[in-house]
Amino acid sequence: MRLEDKTVVITGAGAGIGRETALRCADEGARVIVTDVDVEGGEETSDLIAEAGGEAEFAELDVTDSDRFHDVVDTVAEDYGLDVMINNAGTGHPGGPLEDVDEEVRDFVVDININGVWNGCSAALPHMKEQGQGAIVNVGSLASVLGLPHQAAYATTKAAVLNLTRTVAAEAGPYGVRANAVCPGFTETQLLDDYLDQQGDPEQARKAMVEEYPLKRLGEPGEIADAILFLASDEASFVTGHGLVVDGGYSA
């Protein structure tokens, strides 16, 4: 098993890509610390892992709360050690021209998508550096590498996630710590449904979106989770500072 006897902390694990990633990590032998601001969703993920015979704990976590983030990670590292930090939690915003984006909306997206990932890296790195090993996987987006019209705040934050990942990789590599990002295309999650609902005719918007993908379909959460799992595992032992685009060929 690829993560046997390893401890993984994952944010935003109450649903979607985060939940699928948590389940796959557990299947590969990891002890999974499930975190989310959504207590009900996070506890359900933890229960699903336990029901399948895996080992999981849930910790309520708002990723924008730096003190709480450090407390959770410090406790995990003290109790079990810390092998993998997966910064998955993120959010979107209603579409519209940049000049029409409300500043409060912009700041909310920045706080979760950038500061939340920053807090996760900041909390994990001291432990990983001290032990001389560890893997950080940050979840970016297709918007990390391409501009998305009417999604200025989201695209800005996801581009920042990718360059933050590269910077962490450059800084922490000498300590034996790897940092990579996964950059998914549109994936069948609640975030996608919310985006489509803003388009007036969600069904037509979905059909048009699918036509833009060479594989003629959108991604599934499990497919993104598999990419995260690869980067978290020793199979990617010589991969760091990389943004792995998983987008069904859209960017091609």
Q: Which residues belong to the active site? A: 154
What number of other Cβ atoms are within 10 A of residue 62's Cβ?
17
Cβ-contact 233, 2 below 8 angstroms: yes
Any bridge partners for residue 243, and if so which? 181
Looking only at Cα atoms, what is the longest distance across the chain?
52
Tokens describing residue 231: 């980067």
Strand arrangement of the beta sheet that strand 177-184 belongs to: 55-60, 31-36, 7-10, 84-87, 134-139, 177-184, 243-246
Distance, in Å, from the CA atom of 195 to the CA atom of 104, rounded to the nearest integer, reads 19
Length of the chain in terms of residues written: 252
Tokens describing residue 121: 């890296």
Tokens describing residue 90: 């993120």
